[in-house]
Amino acid sequence: MTGRVAGSAVPRLDGIAKVTGRARYTADLSAPGMAHAVVVRSTRAHARIVRIEREAARRAPGVLAVITAQDMIEGGLVPYYGHIVLDHPIVALGKVCYHGEPVVIVVAETKLEAAEAADLVEVGYEDLPSVIDADEALDPGAPVVHEVRGERVGDEGMDAGDAALVGNICAVAEVGWGDVDAEFAKADLVVEGEYRYPMLYGYAMEPYSALAQFDQGDLVVHSSAQHVFMVRADLARMFGLPLGRVRVSAPYVGGGYGTKSYTKVEGIAAMGARFTGRPVKLELSVEEAMLTTRSDSSHVRCRTAFSKDGKILARDFDIVMNSGAYTDNSPIVNAKTANRCFGPYRMNALRVRSRSVFTNTVPGSSLRGFGAPQGNIGGELQMDEAALKLGIDAVELRMRSIVDPGEEILPGKRGLDADLKADLRCLADALGWPGTGRAAIGLGVSASDAGAYPTSTAAVRIHNDGSATLFTGSTELGQGSRTVLAQIVAEELGIPLDRVGVVGGDTGVGSYERTTGASRTTTVTGRSVLEACADARREVRRLAAQAWRLPDDRVTDAPSGVVAAGTERSYSEVIETWFGASGGEVIGHAAVRKADTFLKMPPFWEIGCGGVALSVDRETGVVRVEKLTTIGDVGFAINPQLVKGQDAGAALMGLGAALREELVYEGDQLVNPNVVDYRVPRFSDVPDDFEHILAERRDGTGPYGAKGAGEGAGNTIGSSVASAIGRLIGVFPHELPATPERVWRLMRGRAAE
Given a cut of 50, is residue 441 above it in pLDDT? yes
Q: What is the mean pLDDT of residues 667-694?
A: 94
- Cα(560)–Cα(588) distance, integer angstroms: 15
- Cα(714)–Cα(656) distance, integer angstroms: 10
| Domain co-membership, 113 together with 60 | yes
Q: What is the mean pLDDT of residues 688-716?
A: 96
Q: Output the pTM of the full model.
A: 0.94
- Cα(671)–Cα(677) distance, integer angstroms: 8
Cis bond upstream, residue 602 (ω within 30): yes
Q: What is the mean pLDDT of residues 708-716?
A: 95
| Domain co-membership, 541 together with 680 | no
- Cα(148)–Cα(90) distance, integer angstroms: 17
| Domain co-membership, 571 together with 610 | no
| Domain co-membership, 659 together with 746 | yes
Nearest to 705 by CA among 456, 478, 418: 418
pLDDT value of residue 1: 29
Q: Are 212 and 246 in contact (CB under 8 A)?
A: no
- Cα(492)–Cα(80) distance, integer angstroms: 44
Given a cut of 60, is residue 509 above it in pLDDT? yes
Given a cut of 50, is residue 364 above it in pLDDT? yes
Q: Are 96 and 126 in contact (CB under 8 A)?
A: no
State which of 530, 564, 598 marks the end of a domain.
598
Q: What is the mean pLDDT of residues 674-688?
A: 91
Q: ∠327-521-512 over CA atoms, to 5°?
A: 75
Q: Can you spell out the DSSP letters for 729-746?
A: HSS---BSS--HHHHHHH
Provide the pLDDT confidence category of residue 438 given band limits of 50, 70 and 90: confident
| Domain co-membership, 214 together with 114 | yes
Given a cut of 90, is residue 17 above it in pLDDT? no
Q: What is the CATH classification number for the domain harbouring 463?
A: 3.30.365.10
Q: Any residues with CB less than 8 A from the CB of 186 and at least 6 apart, and which? A: 313
Given a cut of 70, is residue 334 above it in pLDDT? yes
Averaged pLDDT of the chain: 94
Per the domain annotation, does 68 fall within a domain?
yes
State which of 290, 320, 336 marks the end of a domain.
290
Q: What is the mean pLDDT of residues 552-572?
A: 96
Given a cut of 80, is residue 259 above it in pLDDT? yes
Q: What is the mean pLDDT of residues 534-544?
A: 98
> Tens digits of per-residue pLDDT, 163-219?
889 999 999 999 999 999 999 999 999 999 999 999 999 999 999 999 999 999 999
- Cα(576)–Cα(584) distance, integer angstroms: 7
Residue 475 DSSP label: P
Given a cut of 60, is residue 370 above it in pLDDT? yes
At 47, which amino acid appears? A
Percent of the chain surpassing pLDDT 70: 96
- Beta-carbon count within 10 A of 126 CB: 11
| Domain co-membership, 574 together with 677 | no
Map residue 559 onto helix, strand or coil: coil
> Tens digits of per-residue pLDDT, 20-58?
333 333 446 778 899 999 999 999 999 999 999 999 999
Dihedral over Cα of 267, 271, 274, 277: its sign: negative
pLDDT value of residue 220: 98
Q: Can you give the residue range of the structural domain that contains 585?
A: 456-598
> Tens digits of per-residue pLDDT, 591-622?
999 999 999 999 999 999 999 999 999 999 99
| Domain co-membership, 578 together with 685 | no
**How many residues appear in the chain?**
753
| Domain co-membership, 728 together with 622 | yes
pLDDT value of residue 32: 86
Given a cut of 60, is residue 429 above it in pLDDT? yes
pLDDT value of residue 161: 75
- Cα(479)–Cα(18) distance, integer angstroms: 10
- Beta-carbon count within 10 A of 34 CB: 16
pLDDT value of residue 8: 33
pLDDT value of residue 751: 75
Per the domain annotation, does 176 fall within a domain?
no
At 40, which amino acid appears? V
Per the domain annotation, does 689 fall within a domain?
yes
C-alpha distance across the termini of the chain, in Å: 51
Per the domain annotation, does 383 fall within a domain?
no
With the CA atoms of 266, 271, 274 and 278 taken in that order, what torsion angle do they form, in degrees rounded to the nearest 10? -70
Q: What is the mean pLDDT of residues 103-113?
A: 98
| Domain co-membership, 625 together with 734 | yes
| Domain co-membership, 608 together with 713 | yes
Per the domain annotation, does 550 fall within a domain?
yes
| Domain co-membership, 258 together with 282 | yes
- Cα(515)–Cα(167) distance, integer angstroms: 31
Taking the CA of residue 113 as centre, how many other CA atoms within 13 Å lie in the half-sphere pointing to its CB?
15
- Cα(725)–Cα(439) distance, integer angstroms: 9
Provide the pLDDT confidence category of residue 155 given band limits of 50, 70 and 90: confident
Provide the pLDDT confidence category of residue 6 given band limits of 50, 70 and 90: very low
Q: Are 16 and 486 in contact (CB under 8 A)?
A: no
Burial of 405 (0-12, 13-18, 19+ CB in 10 A): middle
pLDDT value of residue 28: 60
pLDDT value of residue 25: 39
Q: What is the mean pLDDT of residues 70-77?
A: 98
Strands 561-564 and 567-570: antiparallel
- Cα(128)–Cα(357) distance, integer angstroms: 18
Per the domain annotation, does 319 fall within a domain?
no
State which of 259, 290, 321 marks the end of a domain.
290
Q: Number of folded domains in the chain?
A: 3
Greatest pairwise CA separation for the chain in angstroms = 91
* Phi, psi of 231, rounded to the nearest 5 degrees: -65, -40
Per the domain annotation, does 393 fall within a domain?
no
| Domain co-membership, 582 together with 478 | yes
Per the domain annotation, does 380 fall within a domain?
no
Dihedral over Cα of 174, 178, 184, 188: its sign: negative
Beta strand residue intervals within 506-560, DSSP E: 555-558
- Cα(717)–Cα(617) distance, integer angstroms: 20
Residue 522 DSSP label: I
With b for 16 or more beta-carbon neighbours within 10 A and e for fewer, the 18-32 pattern comes to ebeeeeeeebebebe
- Cα(669)–Cα(327) distance, integer angstroms: 20
